[in-house]
């Protein structure tokens, strides 16, 4: 991957679907934006939520680059949520253990399973670090029992390689446990185990270049009343979600008043309302598409 590919993929991730996602959040929980417990006004709270979502999108993008790396190495991606059953020796009761990994990959050629628990940075208190250690050691032991035919290689990976608050504790309790080892790694160190340290170093350089360019396109919250993608989504959204948007609760009334200009015939809400009626009464998809095109281009249809 070169920088241009990185930037184009990231731009797509930070732009695509923003309007629909924001509208869904509003419909599902309007109280988060209008509550008296909020210090900020509606618009500021909405922008705050949008920027937090963009940060999450960025981090998820980095997660996908990890998956991309392992796929490029011909490893198989597995479901990272596991259910492991064990029997209590005293009561013979079957116990179900839920294990959530960040990444799980398999190399069938070598019968090796790669388990990765990913954390943003190592900044926890000592007590929290011990809690993490005990949880991951327990999970790792269960994974070994569940996949007895595989060699298990496990990693606790902190993406931020600068902060190493509890490294000595993790090393002592995880790296040095020969029977139940979990390798503790920071930043590009994870990729040393796969003889490709340069992959993540390149990603880090791409991140720096992207930040140095000081882009601001991803800071601009879409106008839900004029955004084309939001309009198309409102036409196609499920009946249950549309009905929820139109509830008579105070919160949903405020959404319609604050987000949509109900006096403007070009409001996304009014246009979508009309198009949903047309769609519901159209004989088939072709008739609907014809009427949609005519309506959006102010054309008359001769019956």
pTM: 0.84
Q: Is 206 part of any domain? A: no
Q: How many domains does the chain have?
A: 2
CA distance 10 to 48: 20
Residues 87 and 47 grouped into a single domain: no
Residues 163 and 123 grouped into a single domain: yes
Beta bridge partners of 77: 105
Q: Is 203 part of any domain? A: no
Residues 107 and 182 grouped into a single domain: yes
Q: Is 211 part of any domain? A: no
Does 92 score more than 80 pLDDT? Answer: no
Domain CATH for 95: 3.40.1350
Q: Is 292 part of any domain? A: yes
Residues 180 and 87 grouped into a single domain: yes
Is there a contact between 187 and 158 (Cβ–Cβ < 8 Å)? yes
Q: Is 147 part of any domain? A: yes
Residues 115 and 7 grouped into a single domain: no
Backbone angles phi, psi at 62, to 5 degrees: -65, -40
Residues 159 and 239 grouped into a single domain: no
Domain boundary among 162, 195, 228: 195
Residues 189 and 87 grouped into a single domain: yes
Structure confidence at residue 93 (pLDDT)? 85
Residues 52 and 151 grouped into a single domain: no
Structure confidence at residue 90 (pLDDT)? 73
pLDDT (average), residues 205-222: 92
Domain of 116? 74-195
Domain boundary among 163, 180, 195: 195
Cα of first residue to Cα of last residue in the chain, in angstroms, is 55
Tens-place pLDDT, residues 216-239: 888 999 999 999 999 999 999 999
Residues 136 and 40 grouped into a single domain: no
Residues 85 and 51 grouped into a single domain: no
Confidence band of 54 (pLDDT split at 50, 70, 90): very high
DSSP per-residue codes, 40-98: S-HHHHHHHHHHHHHHHHHHHHHHHHHHHHHHHTTPEE--SEEEEEEE-TTT--EEEEE
Residues 292 and 180 grouped into a single domain: no
CA distance 197 to 185: 12
pLDDT (average), residues 129-147: 93
Q: Is 229 part of any domain? A: yes
């Amino acid at each position: 991957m070169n920088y241009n590919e990185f930037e184009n993929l990231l731009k797509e991730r930070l732009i695509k679907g923003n309007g629909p996602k924001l509208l869904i959040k509003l419909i599902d929980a309007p109280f988060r934006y209008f509550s008296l417990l909020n210090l900020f006004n509606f618009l500021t709270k909405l922008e705050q939520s949008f920027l937090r979502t963009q940060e999450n999108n960025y981090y998820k993008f980095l997660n996908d680059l990890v998956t991309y790396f392992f796929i490029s190495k011909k490893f198989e991606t597995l479901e990272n949520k596991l259910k492991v059953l064990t029997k209590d020796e005293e009561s013979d009761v079957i116990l179900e253990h839920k294990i959530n990994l960040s990444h799980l990959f398999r190399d069938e050629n070598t019968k090796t399973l790669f388990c990765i628990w990913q954390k943003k940075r190592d900044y926890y208190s000592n007590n929290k670090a011990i809690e993490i250690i005990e949880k991951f050691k327990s999970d790792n032991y269960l994974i070994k029992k569940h996949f007895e035919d595989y060699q298990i290689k496990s990693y606790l990976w902190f993406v931020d390689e600068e902060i190493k608050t509890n490294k000595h504790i993790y090393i002592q309790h995880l790296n040095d446990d020969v029977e139940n080892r979990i390798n503790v790694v920071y930043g590009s160190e994870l990729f040393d185990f796969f003889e490709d340290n340069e992959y993540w170093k390149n990603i880090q350089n791409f991140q720096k270049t992207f930040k140095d360019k000081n882009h601001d396109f991803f800071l601009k919250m879409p106008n839900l009343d004029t955004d084309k993608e939001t309009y198309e989504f409102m036409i196609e959204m499920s009946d249950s979600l549309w009905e929820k948007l139109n509830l008579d609760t105070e919160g949903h009334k405020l959404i319609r008043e604050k987000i949509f200009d109900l006096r403007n015939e070009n409001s996304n809400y009014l246009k979508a309302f009309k198009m949903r009626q047309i769609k519901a009464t159209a004989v088939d998809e072709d008739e609907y598409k014809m009427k949609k095109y005519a309506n959006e281009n102010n054309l008359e249809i001769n019956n």
